[in-house]
């Protein structure tokens, strides 16, 4: 890390307040591990940014965040995972429905509403003046139920893929009021995966695999770009573009020297039939997709590294000025 000229976020033991990882639900052990790792890494590479990133509200009525807080001196960024699978009161999640218009505010800041909890993860960023990152997020489209013989039984499309997915993104990333209310939010990572989850439900979190949803998603990014809220990238590594794709245009009102980003995304997913990958050419900066690397991890924008993470996922990153 010290020899590459690039800096990273280290998202160590993410979602430590959940019970789905072997290290989860062990706050004392987590804090000891975190402090030791921070001290060791900081001596070797002091620009590595440590991202403290619980899951939203944990799986029960336990105190979700405070027992896992290692202290402001050991945290560079505050993060959280948030997803829309359906209303908390509609489990098992098999229905494709709209996310509330203030859904993410309910989750990260205890805004009034049925979906959030009593504790605000965003207030850790406010209290300790830390940048805030939504480390994982997406809306799922429930596609089918995986049967024992490997076949799939389709689920009702409900309001449809595009509306289901975009209702989530419109509740925060493409919502100017939300961005104004949460100025410490500096980066968002989209979870671009297909997974078989609760009750063998086939869930597709990807916003980039069908034409209608991708068009709506790209339109949201263009509006975000036009507002001046995001920072796109160019510079040292150049911008790789898929064969045959048009040249990339850059926005004149951006600071382009600090980060380097790929605008061609390869979306990989594990399915019941094997590995699927899709390459998406991007024709202009306002719909850029990729992983970002910056010169100053502690105060800038860098690529996300998952430590002690149970699987490899594909993320799309958005940098917010």
**Residue 1 domain-assigned?**
no
Q: Are 82 and 137 in contact (CB under 8 A)?
A: yes
Task: Tell the burial category of 145 from Cβ atoms under 10 Å away from its Cβ (0-12, 13-18, 19+).
Answer: middle
**Residue 280 domain-assigned?**
yes
**Residue 295 domain-assigned?**
yes
Number of domains making up the chain: 1
**Residue 2 domain-assigned?**
no
Write down the pTM of the prediction. Answer: 0.76
Helix (H), strand (E) at residue 126: helix 122-128
**Residue 35 domain-assigned?**
yes
Determine the pLDDT at residue 19.
Answer: 87
Give the catalytic positions in this structure.
15, 136
Q: Are 320 and 188 in contact (CB under 8 A)?
A: yes
pLDDT above 70 (res 302): no
Of residues 149 and 263, more confidently modeled: 149
CATH of the domain at 127: 3.20.20
Of residues 21 and 117, more confidently modeled: 21
Query: What is the three-class DSSP state of 171?
Result: coil
- Note down the domain range covering 56: 8-319
Q: Tally Cβ neighbours within 10 Å of residue 321.
A: 13
Q: Are 237 and 285 in contact (CB under 8 A)?
A: no
**Residue 25 domain-assigned?**
yes
**Residue 133 domain-assigned?**
yes
For 125-175, how does the pLDDT look when each residue is reduced to its tens digit (9 = 90+)? 999 999 999 999 999 999 999 999 999 999 999 999 999 999 999 999 999
């Amino acid at each position: 890390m010290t020899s590459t000229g690039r800096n990273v976020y280290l998202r160590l033991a993410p979602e430590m307040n959940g019970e789905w990882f072997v290290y989860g639900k062990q706050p004392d052990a987590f804090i000891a591990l975190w402090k030791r790792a921070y001290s060791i890494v900081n001596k070797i590479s002091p620009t590595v940014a440590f991202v403290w990133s619980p899951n939203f509200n944990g799986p029960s009525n336990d105190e979700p965040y405070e027992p896992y807080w290692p202290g402001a001196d050991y945290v560079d960024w505050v993060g959280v995972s948030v997803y829309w699978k359906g209303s908390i009161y509609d489990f098992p999640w098999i229905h494709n429905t709209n996310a509330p218009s203030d859904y993410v505010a309910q989750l990260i800041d205890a805004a009034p509403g049925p979906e959030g909890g009593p504790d605000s993860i965003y207030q850790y960023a406010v209290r300790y003046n830390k940048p805030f990152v939504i480390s994982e997020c997406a809306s799922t489209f429930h596609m089918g139920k995986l049967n024992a013989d490997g076949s799939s039984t389709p689920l009702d499309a409900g309001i449809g893929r595009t509306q289901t997915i975009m209702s989530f993104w419109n509740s925060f990333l493409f919502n100017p009021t939300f961005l104004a209310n949460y100025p410490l939010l500096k980066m968002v990572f989209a979870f671009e995966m297909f997974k078989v989850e609760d009750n063998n439900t086939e869930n597709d979190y990807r916003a980039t695999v069908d034409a209608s949803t991708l068009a709506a998603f790209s339109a949201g990014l263009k509006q975000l770009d036009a507002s001046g809220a995001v920072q796109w990238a160019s510079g040292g590594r150049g911008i790789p573009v898929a064969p045959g794709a048009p040249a990339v245009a850059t926005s004149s009102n951006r600071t382009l020297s600090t980060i380097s980003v790929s605008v061609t995304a390869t979306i990989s997913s594990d399915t019941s039939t094997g590995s699927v990958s899709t390459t998406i050419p991007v024709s202009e900066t306002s719909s850029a997709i990729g992983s970002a690397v910056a010169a100053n991890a502690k105060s800038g924008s860098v690529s996300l590294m998952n430590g002690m993470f149970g699987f490899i996922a594909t993320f799309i990153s958005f940098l917010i000025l």
